[in-house]
Structure 1
Amino acid sequence: MSGAPRIVLDSNVCLDLFAFRDPAVAPLLRALREGALAAVTDPACREEWQRILDYPKLGLSAQTRAECLREYDAWLHPFAGTDAAADAPPLPRCADPDDQKFLELAQAAGARWLLSRDHALVVLGRRTARAGLFEIMTPQTWVALEAWRSPGA
């Protein structure tokens, strides 16, 4: 994995990027493609991604689901290690237990950001930043701040 800052993307952000091609998050995809960021995933997060792609309410064709999975695998790098220090501050508990895995991955991978549209995660952003862990924000906020371009931020 490159020396680029690590980032964790929750499944809704991945839908915006790969399934819906939301222009509001196009700069995020561009940053991934240019290597300005290193997005990470783990087996639990990837399994959720696969499951979500099959949700009937999304109405994704088999071809679109396959393309979304290919892009996910191309731009999100498997993280299996434990880079985070053993003495890292404890993580807050997410109100949605299904989203705790994203917090755990961000901490283990030493991510700088966790991007989510899920309110249960975003509200924890001040706590994780204050604890010196990582920032949590919506992808739109991240793009507006051009967070990846800020040297030393």
Structure 2
Amino acid sequence: MSIQATPSLSPAPSFPSGTPADVPAGRQRVVLDTNVCLDLFVFRDPRWAALQAALEQGSVEAYTREDCRSEWLAVLDYPHLPVTPETKPAICAEFDRLLRCLPLAQVNTFGLPVCTDRDDQKFLELALQCQAHVLVSKDKAVLKLGKRTVKRGLFAIVPPQLWRADAFLDAAI
């Protein structure tokens, strides 16, 4: 089995200030973890069709960050995924079109719960950074923190099957 070089992908556009641009009132800000993105952009899981449609229609504003996007790009190279050198550019382009990429920024994480999986802490920090209403995740360690983030007035954390476009708007900071 030979490994072929992956075509170079351009960096995602980002906000110069490290914070989200103005989002119209009533539009939900969401953060999607890597597994949810795989379901949406690689596996095309029909159970998350409403979320996909909301992203496409712009009725929700989805965010990623440079480190989260780097993880996404690395995961796409896992050999067990149905991603080929021919399909990867289109998958990446769709991700970049539908998720707004923020630069790494110093965020005051006081009050933010700490995830037992260090690799997933960046999604919590991103949700705080972009003042997300909701973090959509399939990760058990992240989902366990949902009650705490809501109780602290930060953001909701839900699995994709509980996500709704018209919910969680009062969950953000």
From 85, 88, 93, the equivalent of 2:114 is 93
Distance 1:20 1:80, change over 3 A: same
The corresponding residue for 1:25 is: 48
From 138, 145, 156, the equivalent of 1:135 is 156
Identity %: 44
The corresponding residue for 1:38 is: 61
> Which 10-residue stretch deviates more, 128-137 or 61-70?
61-70
The corresponding residue for 1:61 is: 84
Gaps of 5+ in 1: none
Q: CA deviation at 1:152?
A: 5.4
Tell me the TM-score normalised to structure 2 length. 0.78
> Which 10-residue stretch deviates more, 53-62 or 115-124?
53-62
Give 1 or 2: higher helix fraction: 1
Q: CA deviation at 1:66?
A: 1.5
- The answer (yes or no) to whether the contact 2:67–2:104 under 8 Å persists in 1 is no
- Give the RMSD, CA atoms, in angstroms: 2.0
Q: CA deviation at 1:81?
A: 8.1
**SS of residue in 1 equivalent to 2:87:** helix
- The superposition leaves residues 26-52 of structure 1 with CA deviations (integer Å, 9 ceiling, x where unpaired) of 100111111111001110000000000
The corresponding residue for 2:5 is: none
Runs of 4+ in 1 over 3 A off after TM superposition: 150-153
Equivalent pairs counted in the alignment come to: 147
- The answer (yes or no) to whether the contact 2:28–2:59 under 8 Å persists in 1 is yes
From 136, 144, 158, the equivalent of 1:123 is 144
Q: CA deviation at 1:64?
A: 2.1
- The answer (yes or no) to whether the contact 2:65–2:104 under 8 Å persists in 1 is no
Q: Is the counterpart of residue 72 in structure 1 residue 95 in structure 2?
A: yes
Distance 1:24 1:89, change over 3 A: same
2: CA distance between counterparts of 1:15 and 1:69? Answer: 11
- The answer (yes or no) to whether the contact 1:8–1:106 under 8 Å persists in 2 is yes
- Bigger radius of gyration, 1 or 2? 2
Gaps of 5+ in 2: 1-20
Tell me the TM-score normalised to structure 1 length. 0.88
Q: CA deviation at 1:58?
A: 1.0
Q: CA deviation at 1:67?
A: 1.5
The corresponding residue for 2:166 is: 149
Distance 1:21 1:33, change over 3 A: same
Q: Is the counterpart of residue 103 in structure 1 residue 124 in structure 2?
A: yes
